[in-house]
Structure 1
């Protein structure tokens, strides 16, 4: 696994410029850009929350779950040569990519939090363990959905073509740019069908829960992740039998 991680980093980022540091610099730049834009436009979101904390928890969470399927879909065929080695399985290749994406988003989130805390733009989380727990469940959701979509994409090319527009549609519904509490009751019921909304609300509750009313049901999110994982492993087992190493 470590060898696959190193290979993936070198293949994706190379040795030029800042190399593998782009792993977390890229998501950091995205979050910083959104934060700066919202700050300059003095955006409000229905409650008196600090815009830095709102943007950091929202857009870092989006990068965690959305990038994983994008990196894993279609990853099997380009790596068929690795399957020649008996020790390397399809899951190993996918896990290497997913762990790399999770590491990049996590490092970006932690580094930005430390920077904002040190300059006084962000207050410490009210419950650090809750933030960590929500982040882990969100990462699990990203990995399980990525594995499932990857398995389906090997059976139909439509999955890859449909995921890109679907990811853009899910982005504004994921809770990154709004709080569930400010929505009408009927809209709340709809968005809470999405597991990532529960995780984002849970993370924000750990950060500044005393400043707003969070809506989440973490057992529901965990059950969805478990179902996705079981389906993904079953589908990948079927796909693995049909893989012919080059």
Structure 2
């Protein structure tokens, strides 16, 4: 009697490849960079795309301020404190001050401007602040380059430029503006009246920052007091790049940089602690 062959063992299923995680679950590359870029484009369209002239107005506004300063003071005094051109003297002071002022004011309102978008997990308060800082910093720097270049062409000056001090002054303006704006962003969010108080406190800042004069023109008592205004150091450093005979020995890069970084560090710490409180109001 023949024996039946044993039944063949069932075939094993082929080895399965591990399932790929869904695309939605993958961490997006450069997510923060994309968010900041999107916020920058949004502000560009809302701030410059909906107004007549757009970016042209961003150039005409400081240009008008410089022209009015030059015309007004040329009727009162014969020559500026440095050189012979009122346009160049006031442009070198006003543009550095205006860069700080623009960054500080726009950064301070970053959360209010992007508050609807901050409800999404992909958008953080850091993105909102960085977007406003990058856009206004680049816009202000480009505007300063155009206006200063145009001023040098119009006055037909043989000015010997020293770019490193001028570039350093603009960079310090941006750091100081970011620090003051970040701290004010927290204070304005927690205490709405601080926005009014800050506007009153800083109203004389234009006169105290060396825009229409140089540090050496001040009496000794005023020099001792105003030395602690970091913007006075920035305008003096800015002018050393356009006036070879001017040294601005009083200007301290370390003091300005430390002031900006301390304000920025304090603002970041407070924002990390209280940003949810501000957004839930």
TM-score when normalising by structure 2 = 0.78
Counterpart of 2:211 in 1: which secondary structure? coil
Give the whole-Å Cα distance in 1 for the aligned partners of 2:51 and 2:194.
34
Contact 1:181/1:214 (8 A) holds in 2: no
Number of residue pairs matched by the alignment? 246
Match of 1:210 in 2: 245
Gaps of 5+ in 1: none
Match of 2:98 in 1: 63
Match of 2:236 in 1: 201
Alignment of 1:71-150 (within 5 A): 71-150=106-185
Alignment of 1:15-26 (within 5 A): 15=50, 17-26=52-61
Q: Which shows bigger deviation, 110-119 or 36-45?
A: 36-45
Q: Which shows bigger deviation, 229-238 or 31-40?
A: 31-40
Give the whole-Å Cα distance in 2 for the aligned partners of 1:211 and 1:69.
28
Match of 2:277 in 1: 242
TM-score when normalising by structure 1 = 0.88
After superposition, what is the alpha-carbon deviation per residue over 1:170-209, rounded to whole angstroms, capped at 9, x for unaligned? 1100111111111122211111101111111111112104
Counterpart of 1:4 in 2: which secondary structure? helix
Counterpart of 1:208 in 2: which secondary structure? coil
Cα shift at 1:21: 3.4
State yes or no: 1:33 paired with 2:77.
Answer: no
State yes or no: 1:223 paired with 2:258.
Answer: yes
Match of 1:166 in 2: 201
Rg comparison, structure with higher value: 2
Root-mean-square deviation (Å): 2.4
Counterpart of 2:88 in 1: which secondary structure? helix
User: Counting helix residues as a fraction of each chain, which structure ranks higher?
Assistant: 1
After superposition, what is the alpha-carbon deviation per residue over 1:132-168, rounded to whole angstroms, capped at 9, x for unaligned? 0111011111111111111111111121011112221
Gaps of 5+ in 2: 1-35
